[in-house]
Amino acid sequence: MAHPTTPSPGVPGEDATRRNFLLYATSAVAVSGTALALWPFIHSMNPAADVLALSSSEVDLKPIAVGQSITVTWRGKPVFIRHRTPEEIKAAESVQLFDLRDPQPDSQRAKKPEWLVLVGVCTHLGCIPLGQKSSDPRGDFGGWFCPCHGSHYDTSGRIRKGPAPANLAVPDYTFLTDTTIRIG
């Protein structure tokens, strides 16, 4: 469409450079302003203050007998705590690291050898492995067995067989006393 009385944008000459400068400056301000304005919206989807406040759990280990396991909730996920028997500890410590998919010595995974603390979420696709109850299948290595896609974990929670790529995660935890831990 022709507009004889008004110069159309993009006409070469001095006017055009000035117009281009204004266009780029305006666009830059608009884009960065919009990006900054979007941040509060995006950040509102991150964990809120009350959710973060619940991000540590304390557990009393006294009632757990040797060979027994309990499951506690931490950040909405199950955490496995197993009071390992001497045989289980021995089995975990005697494994050759080159036999492992995700090589890690047992000493790195348990602060005190008799207490094993793990995030009970299979590293394959997030199911909860079996093995907490004495009646559960514990897989070929006496640890845990994930029923979803058949991953086997050993008595140190390390992946030994099946599709999972990594060992069961060890959460941050500290011994507050000899028999109390705080997870997170």
Spatial CA neighbour of 95 closest among 51, 156, 169, 181 = 156
Among 34, 35, 36, 46, binds another protein (CB under 8 A): 46
Q: Which of 16, 25, 28, 30 binds another protein (CB under 8 A)?
A: 30
Q: Does 4 bind another protein (CB under 8 A)?
A: yes
48: contact with another protein by CB under 8 A: yes
Contact by Cβ (8 Å): 122, 162: no
Selected from 25, 28, 31, 51, the binder of another protein by CB under 8 A is 51
What's the CA gap between 80 and 118, in Å, rounded? 5
Q: Give the separation between CA 77 and CA 69, rounded to whole angstroms.
A: 16
Range in contact with another protein (rule: CB under 8 A) among 2-10, 67-75, 125-133, 140-148: 2-10
Which of 34, 44, 94, 96 touches another protein (CB under 8 A)? 44
What does the block give as tokens for 56?
A: 């540590």
> Which residues are bridge partners to 116 per DSSP?
82
**Taking the complex as a whole, how short is the minimal distance between the CB of residue 5 and another protein, in angstroms?**
6
**Tokens found for residue 170:** 């060890």
Decide if residue 98 touches another protein (CB under 8 A).
Answer: no
C-beta of 39 vs 98, nearer to another protein:
39
Rule CB under 8 A: say whether 8 interacts with another protein.
yes
Question: What is the three-class DSSP state of 60?
Answer: strand
Cβ proximity to another protein: between 13 and 63 the closer is 13
Beta strands (DSSP E) in the chain are 57-60, 69-74, 77-83, 115-119, 142-146, 151-154, 159-161, 173-177, 180-183
Of 38-46, 63-71, 89-97, 176-184, the window that binds another protein (rule: CB under 8 A) is: 38-46
* Interacting residues toward another protein by CB under 8 A: 1-6, 8-9, 23, 26, 30, 40-41, 43-46, 48-51
